[in-house]
A and B are shown apart, each in its own frame.
Chain A
């Protein structure tokens, strides 16, 4: 465009998201946490590929201190600790992020449909949520885990056979990932409950507002109204809630692994590493401290980022 007429400054409105981004950028802790998380993701998912195999053991070289070959030393079986922490982080983060993504989708759709339709359907759907709420989370996860465990093993064997995967490393990766599937199913199956309630409450207030009435009077289909007009407006609080559930889910994985129900040996996750490390507390404290540091700093970062997002997306609820 070669128009000579200058665009007036005020004409460029800022969207909700731009506002939020602006506010978030001011929050140094949140930005720092975000950068830290990106680094952690890069470490676990990119750098890890260049590390030694986390399951190769060398019993004669157990508990070695840090050296050129093993930057953080080796564990009780002579396996490289850094590599185990990073590969463990993969599983922990995969569980946390994927379970959250699944819970996010189910929760928002369920809540929105329930809130928008109202009436008997709403009542039934919400009572179902209440029923699921009443089931002890941990017990159900353990149950589902037991149910899906054998199936996941069979599935991974089937995939390897059907796709005719020859490469050992790819086979190993498939087996390792299939390890967390039962856990994922279990956590995401119940993780969406609170999110559904939050969304429903939001939708209930939105559907009374003028823009919804306008959309309805234009003759838009309920589906379109929901997807294009209502749900985008409810996303703010949902995203805030979701960032806070990621560490929660990672925590669940760690808890289950700590109880010996999560990821199977010899694979590691942060929970497994912390559990194993706790056994050597007196003699080899680094085995507990190092995975613990990775675990807690990541959880802290998620929490700070969530906090920052809340302040940014929902200024009314902000502390300052």
Chain B
């Protein structure tokens, strides 16, 4: 009886809602608020303590780096916190001129002091920033981060005056402006953090990112944050380019279930989805042909192997696991979003030729496993655990891997689903056997997919490292010729793939649905759409 009552109440409510012909999305358009599907609750909002793509979406709205992404051109840097910049002949010393009119959302100016503070904070070992190696391009940064020196003056960042920042790099880096668009290079408010953390530069407790306390320098400021409900940002009145900002606010919804998310879009509750699940692609193509987008995306899906585990220490086992996965079938039957099967770690783009190193070959996979001693009689292959997120698509992928390994290698793998934050923690602590993961490029260069595998890198998370590999990466920074440099990187990737600490699966595409009224949103390889150029058109008729 109670069930009936609840049902009829629910139906009644649904009826009441449907009587109102204006959807939530329509109302939000009138108010100039973009509703953005953002997959999960973020790990945090401290730009120096996060590493995910979903966090970057929020942080990109709140903060601004030296340079800003162009709304439609890949690899073009627009002035952000810096109004102009120049470099020396071999791209090793860069000078950024900060705009005098750039302020924090509390009206204080953004100065070189903030940048020096940010880089020092990020590199202070005690903060344990997972992404600190993004700053290793700066001369001396690595030594400081690894506590080989404690004097920050030895790190190659200098304030020539309040508004002139000089950055000396460890090698030549022609694409530094691209890197400064990344959130690890963003300034954080020195005055606020020092006040909140009582002068401690590297207190990882980021109380300063709470609503009401968070001060940012981007086009938007944090308005409200309700865990597992929404994060809303509103227009920043102190933003230097406020005239350009068209949106009054953005509401980020942490909707884990991609099916629910898409249905929310179909029901007019959202403007942009984080993704479109494979099974709904045909449905959406038929019913929402103008809203569906399928775009190239610079990213690689892979499975991390915890090489500190006894079984996975053996490279033959890792290789067997890699060869036993039928990537074509996975893409055609499970993903169906036009992804590319991988044969290496770095997605092929520009002039970089990814070495062909892994392909589906179950015979060879089985043979490798036998060579490693697991021939079914002497040594028993243990049951490994495959760590993945709690999203439904992740579960289906994991089931597909599980089935392929069972059928092609005869080994059993258990699936362990964890919620996003504990999933990340488990990987960082090497508390897993295999982990389903992915990496989205941070800038348009192969190094964004290679640098992460260095020893102690916060995003390595496999326990694997190799001196030759690291040496090649370092060497590449001193090769002035662009073509030669890529060749050095290719041989580095060959080392990485012969050791295979992570099993590459496919190269991403991004599939999502977006409301026709959202303007200023063009396909971008990194999918980092700058919110300041996006607007909502009110009358489509």
Contacts and interface: CB of A to CB of B under 8 A. Distances in A.
A271 to B, nearest CB: 14
Given A59-B329, A62-B333, A266 B403 contact: yes
A78 to B, nearest CB: 8
Given A55-B403, A56-B407, A279-B277, A265 B398 contact: yes
B353 interface: no
A243 B392 CA distance: 34
Nearest to B258: A279
Interface stretch (B6-14, B279-287, B453-461, B503-511): B279-287
Contact of A265 (B259, B277, B399): B399
A283 B282 contact: yes
A265 B386 CA distance: 11
Contact of A56 (B259, B398, B403, B416): B403
Given A59-B330, A60-B329, A283 B279 contact: yes
A283 B280 CA distance: 7
Contacts of A264: 414-416
A60 B326 CA distance: 12
B417 interface: yes
Contacts of B259: 278-279, 281
Most buried by A among B390, B396, B403, B416: B403
Contacts of B414: 153, 264
Most buried by A among B279, B326, B329, B390: B279
Nearest to B333: A59
A157 B383 contact: yes
A302 to B, nearest CB: 14
A279 B399 CA distance: 16
A57 B415 contact: no
Contacts of B334: 59, 76-77
Contacts of A276: 392
A265 B280 contact: no
B452 interface: no
Contacts of A279: 257, 259, 277, 279, 392
Nearest to A171: B412
Most buried by B among A60, A62, A78, A282: A282
A76 B279 contact: yes
A157 B414 CA distance: 12
A56 B414 CA distance: 15
Interface string A50-71: 0000011101101000000000
Contact of B395 (A56, A153, A157, A265): A265
Contact of A59 (B390, B395, B400, B416): B400
A266 B402 CA distance: 8
Interface in B316-337: 326, 329-330, 332-334
A140 B527 CA distance: 41
Nearest to A260: B390
A107 B407 CA distance: 46
B399 A283 contact: no
A60 B412 CA distance: 22
A175 B259 CA distance: 30
B399 A266 contact: yes
A170 interface: no
B187 to A, nearest CB: 39
Interface in A117-166: 153, 157
Interface string A259-290: 01000111000000000101111111000000
A56 B383 CA distance: 18
A294 to B, nearest CB: 18
For the complex of A and B, the 8 pairs showing the least CB-CB separation, nearest first, are A59-B333, A57-B403, A279-B259, A265-B415, A59-B329, A282-B283, A266-B399, A265-B399
Interface of B: 257, 259, 277, 279-280, 282-283, 326, 329-330, 332-334, 383, 390, 392, 395-396, 398-400, 402-403, 406-407, 412, 414-417
8 contacts: A57-B399, A57-B407, A59-B334, A60-B333, A76-B279, A76-B396, A278-B259, A280-B279
Given A59-B329, A76-B334, 5 more contacts: A62-B333, A77-B334, A264-B414, A265-B415, A279-B392
